[in-house]
């Protein structure tokens, strides 16, 4: 198996593989857009007899975790021609990708799995889900007068970015969106209608990206920074009641829309979405903002990671009173009554905030003395995961 980095000269065979594997046919315009983005991605392929047989893309992103920006490697475009499958090529590409991301200091990685079980074998774990709603018009929230105003039309990218960033920082695992992300993915082709809620001081506090078509109001993004903006945006949506039969949207898994309706019997679905993986335990934890403590905390972690040997081993984690952390591998003898044993999947789920240490201990995903697990529980801030994007 020969792994090579793809260049723009490999664009055509790479796109042919993508179209076949993902069962899509791209227009010339779509292909040219992909071509322009090709060089900004780290793309690796497996060749046999000079032919591209499998590939994988590493897209450079940043993600918010507890309000801090982390470098993240987004795995996408994983594909193999059928005649080359069952040869372990994707496994080789994933291992190579981990080495590349570690070298590039991308301490965390996300991907959208075709199979959660498949990627768990290589250290990724579910980190986020969302709630999908279908709301009949008769069930929409009651219209409420708010002191602000709604303005339709294009408010300018800077306004959307400011509101989004303030919202996204409240969650773990949202993307830090640069202008290219907005223009090439979020606002692609200008198909979405836009509406912004401004408060009495004329400050944007929320926005909608949506479409009204065939009696359906499809919300692509609904972002609000406070309850006033939420009510204002939903009143705007409800004012379309003569034009539509239902509203569809997705929201954080903890969203309480149904509870706030007069008739909460609406269609709700919890959808497992993306997976995450800590690429480098040392890099990730060193920049991780733990909760402030009354006194310094010392925790010993025995990490299992068969696909990234630099993570495997026993780590001494020290959390200072202000929440800053230091971590290093230790060769000193450690007894079971001092150590939390955890694989990289469970450690990722816990530090991303998707699952709590005590819960993971209860279901047998981490092991250790009760006092140590309780200390880890108290050290990890509580924050929900969410992701609005797809890649």
Q: Within this chain, do residues 198 and 246 fall inside the same structural domain, yes or no?
A: yes
Could you tell me which residue, 191 or 121, shows the higher pLDDT?
121
pLDDT attached to residue 13: 95
- Please say which residue of 56, 73, 106 terminates a domain: 106
pLDDT attached to residue 96: 98
- Which CATH number does the domain housing residue 169 bear? 3.40.630.30
Q: Within this chain, do residues 256 and 284 fall inside the same structural domain, yes or no?
A: no
Domain presence at residue 371: yes
Q: Within this chain, do residues 144 and 246 fall inside the same structural domain, yes or no?
A: yes
Return the DSSP state at 40.
Answer: T
Domain presence at residue 363: yes
Domain presence at residue 113: no
- Which CATH number does the domain housing residue 295 bear? 3.30.1050.10
Q: Within this chain, do residues 135 and 167 fall inside the same structural domain, yes or no?
A: yes
Helix axes 11-22, 28-38, angle to 10 degrees: 120
pLDDT in tens, 44-103: 999 999 999 999 999 999 999 999 999 999 999 999 999 999 999 999 999 999 999 999
Percentages of the chain per state (helix, strand, coil), in multiples of 5 = 30, 35, 35
pLDDT in tens, 333-366: 777 778 999 999 999 999 999 999 999 999 999 9
pLDDT attached to residue 139: 97
Confidence of residue 188 (pLDDT cuts 50, 70, 90): confident
Rounded mean pLDDT, 222-235: 98
Q: Within this chain, do residues 288 and 365 fall inside the same structural domain, yes or no?
A: yes
Q: Within this chain, do residues 335 and 303 fall inside the same structural domain, yes or no?
A: yes
Work out the angle at residue 323's Cα, subtended by the Cα atoms of residues 319 and 328, and round it to the nearest 5 degrees. 35
Confidence of residue 191 (pLDDT cuts 50, 70, 90): confident
Domain presence at residue 122: no
Q: Within this chain, do residues 262 and 292 fall inside the same structural domain, yes or no?
A: no
Q: Within this chain, do residues 264 and 319 fall inside the same structural domain, yes or no?
A: no
pLDDT attached to residue 269: 98
Domain presence at residue 202: yes
Round to whole Å and give the CA distance between 109 and 100: 11
Round to whole Å and give the CA distance between 250 and 386: 11
Domain presence at residue 385: no
Domain presence at residue 389: no
Rounded mean pLDDT, 119-145: 97
| 150 phi and psi angles, rounded to 5 deg | -105, 135
Domain presence at residue 334: yes
Q: Within this chain, do residues 185 and 255 fall inside the same structural domain, yes or no?
A: yes
- pTM of this prediction exceeds 0.85: yes
Sheet holding 313-319, edge to edge: 325-329, 313-319, 297-304, 339-343, 366-367
Asked whether the predicted pLDDT for residue 190 surpasses 80, the reply is: no
pLDDT attached to residue 15: 95
Hey, how many other C-beta atoms are within 10 angstroms of the C-beta on 92? Answer: 17
Distance of alpha carbon 270 from the chain centroid: 16
Judged by DSSP in three states, 74 sits in strand
Rounded mean pLDDT, 164-181: 97
Q: Within this chain, do residues 209 and 168 fall inside the same structural domain, yes or no?
A: yes
Range in 3-17, 23-37, 245-259, 279-293 the model is least confident about: 23-37
In the chain, what percentage of residues exceed pLDDT 70?
99
Q: How many domains is the chain built from?
A: 3
Asked whether the predicted pLDDT for residue 40 surpasses 90, the reply is: no
- Please say which residue of 247, 271, 295 terminates a domain: 271
- Measured CA to CA in angstroms, residue 81 lies from 19, 45, 179 at distances of 11, 12, 34
pLDDT in tens, 300-338: 999 999 999 999 999 999 999 999 999 999 987 777 778
Look up the domain containing 351 and give its range: 280-379
Round to whole Å and give the CA distance between 74 and 77: 10
- Please say which residue of 271, 290, 309 terminates a domain: 271
Q: Within this chain, do residues 66 and 176 fall inside the same structural domain, yes or no?
A: no
Number of alpha helices (DSSP H) and beta strands (DSSP E) in the chain: 11, 19
Q: Within this chain, do residues 135 and 263 fall inside the same structural domain, yes or no?
A: yes
């Amino acid at each position: 198996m020969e792994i090579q980095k793809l260049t723009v000269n490999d664009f055509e065979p790479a796109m042919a593989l993508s179209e076949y594997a993902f069962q899509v046919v791209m227009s010339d315009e779509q292909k040219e857009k992909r071509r322009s983005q090709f060089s900004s991605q780290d793309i690796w392929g497996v060749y046999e007899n000079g032919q591209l047989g499998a590939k994988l893309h590493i897209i450079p992103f940043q993600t918010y975790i507890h309000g801090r920006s982390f470098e993240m490697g987004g795995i996408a475009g994983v594909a193999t021609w059928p005649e080359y499958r069952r040869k372990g090529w994707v496994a080789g590409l994933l291992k190579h990708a981990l080495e590349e991301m570690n070298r590039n200091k991308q301490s965390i990685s996300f991907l959208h799995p075709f199979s959660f079980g498949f990627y768990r074998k290589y250290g990724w774990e579910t980190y986020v889900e969302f709630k999908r709603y279908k709301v009949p018009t008769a069930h929409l929230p009651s219209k409420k007068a708010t002191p602000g105003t709604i303005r339709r039309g294009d408010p300018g990218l800077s306004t959307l970015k400011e509101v989004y960033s303030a919202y996204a920082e409240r969650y773990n695992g949202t993307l830090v969106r640069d202008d290219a992300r907005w223009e090439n993915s979020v606002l692609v082709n200008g198909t979405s209608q836009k509406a912004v809620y401004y408060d009495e001081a004329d400050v944007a506090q929320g926005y909608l990206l949506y479409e009204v078509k065939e009696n359906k109001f499809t919300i692509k993004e609904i972002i609000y920074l406070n309850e006033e903006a939420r009510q204002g945006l939903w009143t705007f949506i409800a004012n379309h009641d003569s034009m539509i039969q239902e509203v569809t949207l997705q929201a954080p898994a903890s969203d309480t829309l149904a509870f706030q309706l007069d008739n909460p019997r609406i269609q709700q679905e919890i959808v497992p979405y993306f997976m995450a993986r800590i690429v480098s335990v040392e890099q990730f934890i060193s920049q991780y903002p733990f909760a402030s403590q009354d006194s310094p905390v010392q925790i010993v972690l025995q990490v299992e990671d068969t696909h990234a040997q630099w993570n495997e081993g026993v780590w001494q984690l020290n959390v200072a009173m202000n929440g800053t952390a230091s971590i290093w591998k230790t060769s000193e003898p450690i007894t079971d009554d001092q150590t939390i044993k955890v694989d990289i999947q469970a450690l990722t789920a816990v530090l991303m905030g998707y699952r709590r240490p005590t819960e993971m201990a209860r279901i047998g995903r981490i092991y250790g003395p009760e006092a140590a697990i309780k200390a880890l529980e108290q050290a990890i801030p509580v924050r929900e995961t969410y992701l609005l994007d797809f890649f």
